[in-house]
C-alpha cells in the first residue's frame, strides 16, 4: 500500500491511497481542490498516477476544503463514497452510501468508516487496508475521542490533524465566534489534543505519522512537531514524523508486509526523523 498526501490545509485537502498488487487500486481521500489542480498535484507527486486512473473518491465531509472538488469528480463518473449526510450537503447523486461502522471493499482495498466529532452533517474518517498495510486518516476531529483512538491505534501509517496552537489561535486575527468554533469539541484538534489522542491509543502501531491540516494563521510546523514528539517519547512510540504541506505533495509512504517506509528523494523540509529506523 502507498499513501501520498497531495495537499493538506484549510485551502484544500486530498490524499492518494494505492493498494493491492502493483498498487493498482487508486483511491482519493477527499478533494478540496479543483480537478485541474488535483491533476497537477498528481503529476508533481512521485506516484505516477493520473486523474483518469482513480478508482473512486471517498469524502470525509462536505466542507469546501475537503469536499469542494468532489461534485465535479462525481459528475465525471468517478464512483463516489460518502455518508448520506455528506451526499445531501454536497447535492451528490448516485453516490455509494457509507456509514460509521461500515466496512466496504473497493477492489483490493477494504475501507473502514469511523465517525468523527466535527460540525458537519455526518463526518467520518477512513482506515484503508489491502493486507500489506493499514493506513488511517483522521482529519477535522474536534476532540481526543476514545472511540476514534481505539479505531486507529493499529494503523501502520497514520495521518493526524494538528490544526492549531492554542496561543496562536487566541492571539490571532480570527473573530471570536470562529475561534470558539475551531477550539470546540466539534471543531479541530489542537497540537495538544492530537497528543492526547495519541495517548489514548496507548502505544500506537504507526511507523509513520503525518501531521496534517496545519492552519497557516494558527500553527507552525515546529510547534506541532515539538508537542507531538514529546508525547511520542512519553508513550514509547517510535514513528517517523512528517508534516504535510498545503502547497506541495509529500513523498509517498509505502507499506508492505506491515512495514512502512518513506520513499527517498523528498524535500528535507517535509521530513523530520523522530528516531532512526529500527534495526
Cβ atoms of 104 and 110 within 8 Å: the answer is yes
Between CA 237 and CA 229 the distance in angstroms is 9
Confidence of residue 114 (pLDDT cuts 50, 70, 90): very high
Q: What is the pLDDT of residue 48?
A: 78
pLDDT exceeds 50 at position 175: yes
The pLDDT tens digits of the residues spanning 25-72 come to 999 999 999 999 999 999 888 787 899 999 999 999 999 999 999 999
Average the pLDDT over each of 14-23, 35-44, 133-142, 256-265 and give the range with the smallest value.
256-265
pLDDT at site 277:
33
The three grid cell numbers given for residue 230, joined into one nine-digit string:
514529546
Residue 267 has pLDDT above 90, yes or no: no
Is residue 171 packed enough to be buried (19+ CB in 10 Å), middle (13-18) or exposed (0-12)?
exposed
Long-range contacts of residues 84-92, Cβ cutoff 8 Å, at least 24 apart: 84/122, 85/120, 85/121, 85/122, 86/59, 86/60, 86/61, 86/62, 86/120, 86/121, 86/122, 86/123, 86/124, 88/121, 89/61, 89/62, 89/120, 89/121, 90/59, 90/62
- Give the model's confidence band at 160: pLDDT under 50 very low, under 70 low, under 90 confident, else very high: very high
User: Which candidate, 241, 154, 155, 126, places its Cα nearest to that of 195?
Assistant: 241
3-state secondary structure at position 269: coil
Helix (H) or strand (E) holding 255: strand 253-256
The yes-or-no verdict on residue 279 having pLDDT over 80 is no
Pairing relationship of beta strands 109-115 and 124-129 according to DSSP bridges: antiparallel
Instruction: Kindly report, residue by residue over 189-207, the tens digit of the pLDDT.
Output: 999 999 999 999 998 899 9
* Dihedral in degrees, nearest 10, Cα atoms 235, 110, 113, 195: 20
Q: For position 44, what pLDDT does the model report?
A: 84
pTM listed for this prediction: 0.93
Sign of CA dihedral 251, 241, 18, 245: negative
* Cα angle, residue 172 at apex, residues 242 and 120 outer, rounded to 5°: 65
Which CATH class for the 2-272 domain? alpha beta
Cell readout for 132 is: 500489506
- CA–CA gap between residue 191 and residue 109 (Å, rounded): 31
Amino acid at each position: 500500500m502507498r499513501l501520498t498526501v497531495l495537499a493538506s490545509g484549510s485551502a484544500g485537502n486530498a490524499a492518494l491511497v494505492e493498494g493491492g498488487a502493483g498498487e493498482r487500486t487508486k483511491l482519493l481521500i477527499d478533494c478540496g481542490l479543483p480537478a485541474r489542480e488535483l491533476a497537477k498535484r498528481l503529476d508533481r507527486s512521485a506516484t505516477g498516477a493520473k486523474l483518469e486512473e482513480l478508482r473512486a473518491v471517498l469524502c470525509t465531509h462536505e466542507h469546501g476544503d475537503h469536499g469542494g472538488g468532489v461534485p465535479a469528480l462525481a459528475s465525471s463518473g468517478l464512483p463516489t463514497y460518502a455518508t448520506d449526510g455528506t451526499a445531501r450537503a454536497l447535492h451528490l447523486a448516485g453516490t455509494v452510501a457509507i456509514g460509521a461502522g461500515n466496512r466496504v471493499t473497493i477492489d483490493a482495498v477494504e475501507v473502514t468508516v469511523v465517525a468523527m466529532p466535527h460540525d458537519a452533517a455526518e463526518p467520518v474518517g477512513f482506515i484503508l487496508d489491502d493486507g500489506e498495510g493499514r493506513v488511517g486518516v483522521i482529519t477535522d476531529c474536534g476532540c481526543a475521542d476514545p472511540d476514534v483512538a481505539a479505531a486507529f491505534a493499529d494503523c501502520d501509517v497514520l495521518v493526524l490533524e494538528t490544526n492549531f496552537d492554542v496561543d496562536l489561535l487566541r492571539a490571532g486575527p480570527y473573530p471570536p465566534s470562529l475561534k470558539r468554533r475551531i477550539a470546540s469539541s466539534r471543531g479541530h484538534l489542537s497540537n495538544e489534543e492530537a497528543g492526547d489522542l495519541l495517548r489514548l491509543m496507548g502505544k500506537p502501531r504507526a511507523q509513520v505519522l503525518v501531521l496534517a491540516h496545519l492552519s497557516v494563521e494558527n500553527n507552525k510546523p515546529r510547534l506541532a512537531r515539538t508537542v507531538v514528539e514529546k508525547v511520542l517519547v512519553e508513550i514509547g512510540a517510535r514513528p517517523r514524523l512528517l508534516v504535510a504541506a498545503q502547497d506541495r505533495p509529500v513523498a509517498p509512504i509505502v507499506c508492505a508486509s506491515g512495514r512502512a517506509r518513506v520513499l527517498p528523494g523528498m524535500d528535507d523540509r517535509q521530513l523530520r526523523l523522530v528516531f532512526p529506523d529500527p534495526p
